[in-house]
Chains A and B, each alone.
Chain A
């Protein structure tokens, strides 16, 4: 009896031991297999190109050339740091990001608060504000190109108020501003929807409690809504920053970086150098500089939006 029990116990133990072991081995294999497609795609289309960029940045590789690329050390970077267009592009990219992040997120939050009311017809306004987002950026850019003309719609409206508008895209002083305003308008609807989803996760009883405490509207916003949106805030900050740094389409269509480099951006400069001017090596150096910039901003972003409660 006792031996049997021991044997039973033993077999039970082995079974118990074997079962999870077998399960974990096969689930590791499955996990690896499941990972494979994504990994293959990521490696082919992301890691290898990034690796190539690192390598090419130190060569004089060309898009069209019968000559093999040669290693030229840091020549590309020396040239880059002496290039005035690079510094202007860098400045424009940073100015664009610094202005558009607060502008666009604040406007989007305002819209979200406006359409977050229980009222008839509110869905109509939600749709209206979201429309520019589903319109292609190329189309939006072309439309605004006409509106920004010297005798365009915007200046005609301004004239009604007795203001003589500038040649928005033709004047180095206003060109970047014009592109910022138009970009904010286009993407605002998307972030409005995200703010809206954040607003609707805030429990209604918090507002009821605030009402009972006699809080006014501002206090309710400051002490209920704003803290309730922390996760949403982080997400919006990161997505706007990233899309701001990738600024290209609008500029490429509306100004091609002009006048006098006042709207040139790093991405535009890299594309122009790499494709129109066929300098693959130099364009890689620009991309590498861009990579470092984005990396720095992402780290900063993570630091600023880190979970302070956990740190404490």
Chain B
């Protein structure tokens, strides 16, 4: 057949027109129903950039796949930065994997949205877990985690001794005045660039995780936890304003740098800062640098006792998994103490059960890390258990940043309360 120019043109046009259509067909044909068909259970994790944790999880999955022949779990790892977006996008198109991990405070939001299915029949096992590693919403448990992290004041015994500062303990932590006096003393000596580094250079969830416990220690909170209807009085009451004023004074008095360096732990190790407020994940590096001289102290009691954030990454199953029984079967298998121990050991975090703690070096009775478990049990406060939490977190982050930069405390907090209340209300209080 001889092509005339016109037919040629039409053919090319048709081809070009068919291209997007065939692309659409491709996506349609390529989509399979959500993970769970044929005994294969898809699993998503945020650990792509975290070798140690991914390896620990992979080991559990391999054990599980070998232990039975009915189901096969397949891991897909995502980088943490894009993980939440991936889950939200997958949920919007009903393509969630069967098993997935979730950052603790997001669990109520995702449970409310219908992403997650409750973990039925695991109550006996999970009753042995630290309460802060369980994701609960509306009286149902949706997730469990292998570990928790504690916030600590890292410093060195030699530094405290040099300035005649008392070493605080779990039972008698520093009071607010004692803490301020200690920082001012270090400041006056001029030996350190920063008496304290609170890692303000960290972004995202760090701000509510690390600084809302300080607010809670003053007696304020992110929201009134009775019904989660309003933040009025909790986030802008006199206690909260007191916290905000103190928080800003840390900067204006030169006790804390307004903006920390890219790696605050390194600055502490290099002797730039006398004290570091950070998670227990810094324990490995700081111990390597200072050995037995390193102290991991409880945060100061700013009014109502020391407080630290609770809840880290946790595992749950999705609502649209076509094989709920299989996913639950894996979750039961993976909840064994030996796996809690292996994941906690490989990630240098606090094991979620006592039985596992006994198996992890450092967390046994009298071990060097036992104090972390102590803090997690005594001081940990969950972030507000409401589906409105992601909004509260961003509001608090912005407000705390503004306050640290010199915004009027009362005004900034009032604005945050107004926004949070409006958001809770516009969602019908998440009933």
Contact = CB atoms under 8 A, between A and B. Distances in A.
Q: Do A and B come from one complex?
A: yes
A36 B427 contact: no
A210 B257 CA distance: 61
B220 to A, nearest CB: 22
B422 A260 contact: no
Contacts of A276: 390, 394
Interface stretch (A27-35, A190-198, A225-233): A27-35
A63 interface: yes
Interface stretch (B106-114, B142-150, B305-313): B106-114
B406 interface: yes
Contact of A37 (B20, B112, B113, B391): B20
B17 A37 contact: yes
Contacts of A66: 112-114
A4 to B, nearest CB: 32
A218 to B, nearest CB: 47
A64 B402 contact: no
Contact of B259 (A41, A167, A279): A167
B405 interface: yes
Contact of A26 (B6, B113, B390, B398): B6
Nearest to A41: B20
B284 interface: no
Interface in A157-173: 167, 170, 172
B390 A33 contact: no
Contacts of B91: 64
B427 A67 contact: yes
Given A34-B13, A40-B20, A79 B394 contact: no
A33 B20 contact: no
Given A36-B16, A37-B17, A64-B110, A260 B390 contact: no
A258 B397 CA distance: 11
B405 A260 contact: yes
B426 A60 contact: yes
A172 B258 CA distance: 13
A208 interface: no
B259 A37 contact: no
A132 interface: no
Contacts of B407: 260
Nearest to A39: B17
B203 interface: yes
A159 B390 CA distance: 43
A62 B258 CA distance: 34
Given A65-B113, A172-B405, A275-B85, A37 B9 contact: no
A8 interface: no
Interface string B389-431: 0110011001001100111000000010000001100111000
Given A167-B258, A259-B405, A275-B85, A67 B13 contact: no
Contacts of A275: 85
B157 to A, nearest CB: 29
A260 B13 CA distance: 54
Contacts of B122: none
A33 B13 contact: yes
Contacts of B423: 277, 279
Contact of B113 (A29, A36, A64): A64
B14 interface: yes
Given A66-B114, A260-B407, A278-B391, A36 B85 contact: no
Contact of A30 (B6, B19, B114, B203): B6
B6 A37 contact: no
Interface of A: 26, 29-30, 33-34, 36-37, 40-41, 44, 60, 62-67, 79, 84, 150, 167, 170, 172, 256-261, 272, 275-279
16 contacts: A33-B13, A34-B9, A34-B13, A37-B19, A66-B113, A84-B415, A150-B259, A258-B398, A258-B402, A259-B405, A272-B394, A277-B391, A277-B423, A278-B391, A279-B391, A279-B423
- Considering the complex of A and B, which 10 residue pairs feature the smallest CB-CB distances, nearest first? A33-B13, A259-B405, A36-B17, A37-B16, A64-B113, A30-B9, A276-B394, A66-B114, A260-B405, A34-B13
